[in-house]
Structure 1
Amino acid sequence: MGYEPHGKHLIAGDWVSSQNTFTSQPVTGEGQSFSEGGADEVDRAVRAAEEAFATYGWTSREERAAFLEAISEEIDARGDDITRLGCAETGLPEARLQGERGRTTGQLRLFASHIRDGAYLDRRHDAALPDRQPLPRSDLKMVQRPIGPVAVFGASNFPLAFSTAGGDTASALAAGCPVVVKGHPAHPATGEIVADAIAAAIARCGMPAGIFSLIQGSSHDLGGSLVRHPLINAVGFTGSLGAGRALFDLCAARPVPIPFFGELGSVNPVFVMPRALAQRGAELGAAWAGSLTMGVGQFCTNPGIVVATEGAGLDAFIKAATDALEAAGESVMLTDGIADAFRRGVAEVGSASGVQELLKSTCDHRNAAPAVYKVDAESWLANAVLAEEVFGPLGILVTASGPGQMLDVARSLQGQLTATLQMDDADTDIARPFVPVLERKAGRVLVNGFPTGVEVADAMVHGGPYPASTNFGATSVGTLAIRRFLRPVCYQNMPDALLPGDLNSN
């Protein structure tokens, strides 16, 4: 029959219920009752995490790598059930859930390999200089050390890769930090079965039970209790700008502020250079439509803004894009709340001054079809609302008088996750001034591609200046994500017997 959810929290190895409950809202099948966590569950989980940190924070890299690989294996062992539950809760197709599971397990294995290598520790040694004049120098050794218990918030749009065992959890565990996850109420059954996999890996590897807990819940109070707990040392979050900013402010207002690594929102602008537009307008329009509708536009890297100059090339771009988007039709969105927000965003953009509707969207209950609008650069620059993310398949074409005005649009942007240049070789001189502008605006700058799809790799950056993320020096994807949950510690004249193992090993 397969795995059947029981609706409980996992707290330090125990499955426990709460008196209060909420009911899930799957796309298919009946809703199920899940325990609603609160301050008591948070306190129990975080205290267990702090106790476990005394052991887990001093485990070897090999022990943690084997643990990450065990989680990967346990997730794959539950693969069919994860797909079944995830599809029912989110409406995502089987192939998407299977691919996302592969990404989740793949990043666990990648992080295991990365920490085995040890280069991420940035180990440094300044040997003692006892005879130096006028003053001797002590022996100094530095290494990156884990910071302690980390709170992670599951994301609505990625039930696996950015949720229970996703990038934030995997990178914190790789660093040596226990994790307390607040599960997302959009997919609590999926969160529960993944937590079951992590619990099995903990038992297999003999790890302290307190290094992982999952607390289910739908209330804002639960999230507030978690980030305010004095034993939490950092927070990982992927979600909306409003919710993320509220949690960021709570972290900053604590008696001891903590870092909030929030990935919040982005319109991911695409700048189409003149020669590329003239030569490949139709091809680019069709490709943009495919990127805009991937996952029903519910990717944080969705390319919501295209900036180009008027002319025959843009006409071809628009026709190809609108034909493809119209053919795409309606698709189910992840939650009722996301669908409601998409409807509001479409209405706000459509009613803005100077905006021309090219393709009218429909959004019936939880189903949505794409919407496309056109506006000149002057009107776009005059209305900040048009530069705000609308989560879903909504695109705005911003028309400029020439490359100079396109550059004005680039300079006006707030922080982005990505920025894209579509160009041919003949556009190189025109494109050159965009690079120093866009690299200050975005964490990832692309040429001749579209940003949907984030590779889990050493060089990847998934972050950017605010409001794309709350910490522009960090990434939530790729091996550099592990560094978020480490801090440098210098040991002066420390006997080898007292040093962390990583300073006495290769």
Structure 2
Amino acid sequence: MSTVTTVDPRDGRRRETGLKETGDAAVESAVALAAESAEWLSGLGRLGRAGLLDAIAASLESRRTDLVATADSETGLGVARLDHELTRAITQFRMFGDVLRDGGYLEAAIDHAAETPLGPAPDVRRMLVPLGPVVVFGAGNFPFAFSVAGGDTASALAAGDPVIVKAHPSHPLTSHASAEAIAAAVRGMHGPAGVPAIVYGQPAGLVAVRHPAVRAVALTGSIGAARAIQAAIDERDDPIPLYGELSSANPVVILPSAAAGRGEQIAEGLFASFTGSGGQLCTKPGLAFVPSSPDGDRLVEALQKRVASAGGAVLLNERIRDAYAEREAELRRAGVRVSARPEIAPASGFTVAPALLEIERSRLSAEIADECFGPLMIVVRYDGVPDLDAALAVVPPSLTGSIHSGPGDDEAIVRRLAGELAARSGRIVFNGYPTGVRVSWAQHHGGPWPSTNSLHTSVGATAIRRFLRPLAWQDAPEWILPEELRDDFSGIVRRVDGRLVPGRP
């Protein structure tokens, strides 16, 4: 059995962790334990699980200093960024506690037995119920918010589903410490072992995916990883869903009036957005459409100055560093010229130079527009607003699309561009930047392929919907019904005989 090591990306030094890759038999045992814990999670009920999520949030908070220090040593993302990300992870657990207390996510509906135009109709009651054990693949670029203690875990536990987490190789110690924080909260509520289960090593993750007890898989990662997981799913006797958040170019369109009135400000925002966290964010803007005009020139010059004076960016691991270098070289071979790139001193570890590239709209292709993971952005110069329709048509669908406009830009043009982006993304940003995804009830973090492979979101309250399924009870005795479907229950909003009935405390 292979040992698990960890690497500090700032110096490239590899360290032992004391952890072992999980063998097949251990994976089987972990999934079996997780499946057994489903009864306990169900028995907690909505309000009990809300209390569990609050306890997990408190457990993570109590270990903040150690968790952040461990993550910093494995990712090089910096204490400030990681401290903020841990706050986000804690907020996600608490938000899903609120989702459970609200209860609207259940979509509870009651149709009493009645005479209808089609004749006598039975009593039918419906709501959403837990799906079953879920395998979560932790993301490398978010060691908290999309990993062991991330939104997939929080939303699955909220739904009542046990979780088996596959630790990411870029931060195994952080994954281990996060799992222990969650397990401590479970023990504090007298819960069973196996919440959460955690496995190490890519083979272990795929063995878990193939286990017949597993009902869904969640991934934030690459298209290649999604295909490997889907291949494992295809080996099963029964299909299960894979919810993947994968690849995104996140185009930003800057209209002439915005370039004229806010060029310096936009340059500052774009620079921060495409270089923040080493450009290793799924919402990083990879393309900025800038008018070929004196105002556009000034905006690009302001960007160039910021990039030229930037320091090196630390990437998460050797694979990402090498892929970044290969992608930059590929773009240059395709005729995309370097607009700005700082000279950085040779360094150990996985440090790279941020890069600003530039190309004319007429030369943009789907291959050039594809995502580059890391601190690289391509400025696409366009001659007139009509050029933008053709330009956006070659950009791969994305998680986000952004529009910067000003008072001099025709509202009809803004509306048309918004329609184009709406058809090709899951979130439209106006006069802002796509990085920084709000954790909230209204948030949607998804989009058409290749940004995701589903219609669901991995951020926000409705992320819970991925891990639930509908179930209807017909002419059921009241004693067997969930309390949310009994006639005398009024704690949540329900649709009763076609009418929406608000809940009462």
TM-score normalised per structure 1: 0.92
Picking from 184, 191, 194, the partner of 1:207 is 191
Give CA-to-partner distance per residue, 1:100-124, whole Å, 9 cap, x none: 1111111111110111110111111
Structure 1 CA distance, aligned partners of 2:159 and 2:484?
12
What does 1:336-347 correspond to in 2, within 5 Å? Answer: 336-347=318-329
Whether the 8 Å CA contact 2:359–2:381 is kept in 1: the answer is yes
Picking from 40, 47, 59, the partner of 2:32 is 47
What does 1:19-34 correspond to in 2, within 5 Å? Answer: 19-27=1-9, 31-33=15-17, 34=19
Whether the 8 Å CA contact 1:60–1:501 is kept in 2: the answer is no
Picking from 178, 187, 191, the partner of 1:194 is 178
Whether the 8 Å CA contact 1:64–1:112 is kept in 2: the answer is yes
Who is 2:286 aligned against? 304
Who is 1:501 aligned against? 483
What does 1:80-479 correspond to in 2, within 5 Å? Answer: 80-129=65-114, 131-132=115-116, 135-217=119-201, 219=202, 221-353=203-335, 355-360=336-341, 365-381=349-365, 384-427=366-409, 428-471=411-454, 473-479=455-461
Amino acid of the structure 2 residue aligned with 1:121? L
Amino acid of the structure 2 residue aligned with 1:360? R
Give CA-to-partner distance per residue, 1:421-459, whole Å, 9 cap, x none: 001133222211111211111111000000111010001
Structure 2 CA distance, aligned partners of 1:62 and 1:483?
18
Amino acid of the structure 1 residue aligned with 2:60? I
| Distance apart, 1:326 and its partner CA | 1.8
Equivalent residue of 1:24, what SS?
A: strand
Is 1:65 the counterpart of 2:50 in the alignment? Answer: yes
| Distance apart, 1:252 and its partner CA | 4.4
Amino acid of the structure 2 residue aligned with 1:141? R
Whether the 8 Å CA contact 1:57–1:148 is kept in 2: the answer is no
Structure 1 CA distance, aligned partners of 2:324 and 2:484?
49
Structure 1 CA distance, aligned partners of 2:110 and 2:416?
42
| Distance apart, 1:132 and its partner CA | 4.1
Runs of 4+ more than 6 Å apart: none
Equivalent residue of 1:55, what SS?
A: helix
Equivalent residue of 2:161, what SS?
A: coil
Q: 1:497 to 1:208 in 2, by over 3 A?
A: farther
| Distance apart, 1:39 and its partner CA | 2.0
Structure 2 CA distance, aligned partners of 1:21 and 1:134?
66
Whether the 8 Å CA contact 1:38–1:225 is kept in 2: the answer is no
Whether the 8 Å CA contact 1:177–1:211 is kept in 2: the answer is no
Further displaced range: 168-177 or 274-283: 274-283
Equivalent residue of 1:460, what SS?
A: coil
Whether the 8 Å CA contact 1:156–1:334 is kept in 2: the answer is yes
Structure 2 CA distance, aligned partners of 1:159 and 1:335?
13
Q: How many residues align?
A: 481
Who is 1:14 aligned against? none
| Distance apart, 1:357 and its partner CA | 1.4
| Distance apart, 1:282 and its partner CA | 2.5
Equivalent residue of 1:163, what SS?
A: coil
Who is 1:9 aligned against? none
Structure 2 CA distance, aligned partners of 1:169 and 1:437?
34
| Distance apart, 1:70 and its partner CA | 0.6
Q: 1:374 to 1:30 in 2, by over 3 A?
A: closer
Structure 2 CA distance, aligned partners of 1:91 and 1:163?
16
| Distance apart, 1:284 and its partner CA | 1.2
| Distance apart, 1:134 and its partner CA | 5.2
| Distance apart, 1:58 and its partner CA | 4.1
Q: 1:441 to 1:500 in 2, by over 3 A?
A: same
Amino acid of the structure 2 residue aligned with 1:274? P
Equivalent residue of 1:307, what SS?
A: strand
Who is 1:482 aligned against? 464
Equivalent residue of 1:285, what SS?
A: helix
Whether the 8 Å CA contact 2:284–2:435 is kept in 1: the answer is yes
Give CA-to-partner distance per residue, 1:282-323, whole Å, 9 cap, x none: 221222111111101011100010112201111111111111
Q: 1:132 to 1:88 in 2, by over 3 A?
A: closer
Equivalent residue of 1:31, what SS?
A: strand
Q: 1:426 to 1:254 in 2, by over 3 A?
A: farther
Structure 2 CA distance, aligned partners of 1:450 and 1:64?
35
Whether the 8 Å CA contact 2:274–2:285 is kept in 1: the answer is yes
| Distance apart, 1:30 and its partner CA | 5.6
Whether the 8 Å CA contact 2:199–2:205 is kept in 1: the answer is no
Further displaced range: 280-289 or 417-426: 280-289
Amino acid of the structure 2 residue aligned with 1:86? A
Picking from 37, 59, 68, the partner of 2:22 is 37
Equivalent residue of 1:391, what SS?
A: coil
Structure 1 CA distance, aligned partners of 2:113 and 2:195?
38
Q: 1:250 to 1:403 in 2, by over 3 A?
A: farther
Further displaced range: 50-59 or 481-490: 50-59
| Distance apart, 1:207 and its partner CA | 2.2
Further displaced range: 496-505 or 140-149: 496-505
Whether the 8 Å CA contact 1:282–1:319 is kept in 2: the answer is no
Give CA-to-partner distance per residue, 1:16-62, whole Å, 9 cap, x none: xxx43122112467612321113222211111122221332343111
| Distance apart, 1:379 and its partner CA | 1.3
Gapped regions of structure 1 (runs ≥ 5):
1-18
State percent identity of aligned pairs.
Answer: 38
Amino acid of the structure 1 residue aligned with 2:143? P
Amino acid of the structure 1 residue aligned with 2:341? K
Whether the 8 Å CA contact 1:76–1:105 is kept in 2: the answer is yes
Give CA-to-partner distance per residue, 1:393-423, whole Å, 9 cap, x none: 1110112221111111223332211000001
